[in-house]
Structure 1
Amino acid sequence: MDTRSLLDQLLKAVPGLLGNAGNSSQPRNGERSADRDSGLGSLLSGAAGGGLAAGAIGLLLGSKKARKLGGKALTYGGLAALGVMAYKAYGNWQQQQQVAATGAAPGAPQTVDRLPPAQVEQHSHAILQAVIAAAKADGHIDERERQLIDAEVAKLSHDPQLLAWIDRELHQPLDPAAVARAAQTPEMAAEMYLASLLLVDEQNFMERAYLDELSRQLRLDPGLRSELDRQVQQVP
């Protein structure tokens, strides 16, 4: 299943989420995330009035999330953008933890933007599972919308296994513990939480409760969660 390609397309489909303004290249190994972080900017002025772009991700999100995200975007877009945000948050937290404990500098976090293809696919699968679950957290996806989402996703991927998996995920009862089990590494857990945080409306009680429980099931350190929250808050 080429989950990476599908997830990248979905994340780029809505400029106000993690859209692409022309530079979608990933950071090279060893490149500092700060060097790529200057691309934060507003690419979705006026999206609040027009709602989200048509297609699968628009059906998943719903218009209220466009209003919440507004101009929050990264100019290099998609999966790489998510990885860079997770890298910076995880790296900040990791450095605080290790330097405080041992005085030693930590190794670089192995986030999705700096991994070999096989591991990127594994991370992408977990992140997509988190995205689908977060989109269901407010209960707005009914049977008709599931069918529409299936049809839209089918336009982006012709992989029958992937399409069948997405359909099953859409029909699964919302279960933060089941979602969290997909996290095989701490970095993956951070990426899954970050993707969920970008999608949920924190003013909605149901969605906030889901996010809190997902964080607990992912066993995120409170300091790491704060760093991830801060990354989203700092995006203009």
Structure 2
Amino acid sequence: MMSFDLIGRLFGSVRDRDGRADVLEKLAQHEPTLPAPRNPSAPEELLPVALATKVLAGWLANRQQTLVPHTLNFRVLGPAQADLLLAVMAAAIQADGEIDSREARQLSLALRRVGAGEDEARRIGAMLAEPQHLGTLLTRIQEADLATHAYAAALLAINRGTRVNRAFLDYVSARLGLVPDVAGSLERRYRA
């Protein structure tokens, strides 16, 4: 009730110029009288408020994982989706112009980690032999609604420590429209 009165007084007055807030300064000089806090008669009345507060605090603390539930699992992907993600992995590996020993070792571990089998390993080997057209590939990723999956696949495939690979990941993230919180969450989740 008091807050509506305050808002009404603020909007009812002429707006101050140059960042001044005469109305707020006048209100700050007078100490407002707040209504006495309601004293619950039974602890059961506090339970819904306490529970709601706990749920909200948990959701806010972990909102990115709640908003972007993400598991990269090749066993549940269709063949077309798996091929897109394998092509992203190949493009990521090709980004710096060479496949170093760490990336080769990392690729086989990454494929096992995400449930890919021998068939996927053979297909990515063939993809690595040909240059991938990144622009077309990222457009197809967006059309298939696999942006977070593609970014996770790229993270697993390459060494993030080099500047070229870091620039590649930043470009892919920006091109796929991933907000920094989501990209950061995926980077923490898919550490190589």
TM-score interval, normalised by the smaller of the two chains: 0.3 to 0.5
Q: Which has the larger radius of gyration?
A: 2
TM-score w.r.t. structure 2 length? 0.45
TM-score w.r.t. structure 1 length? 0.38
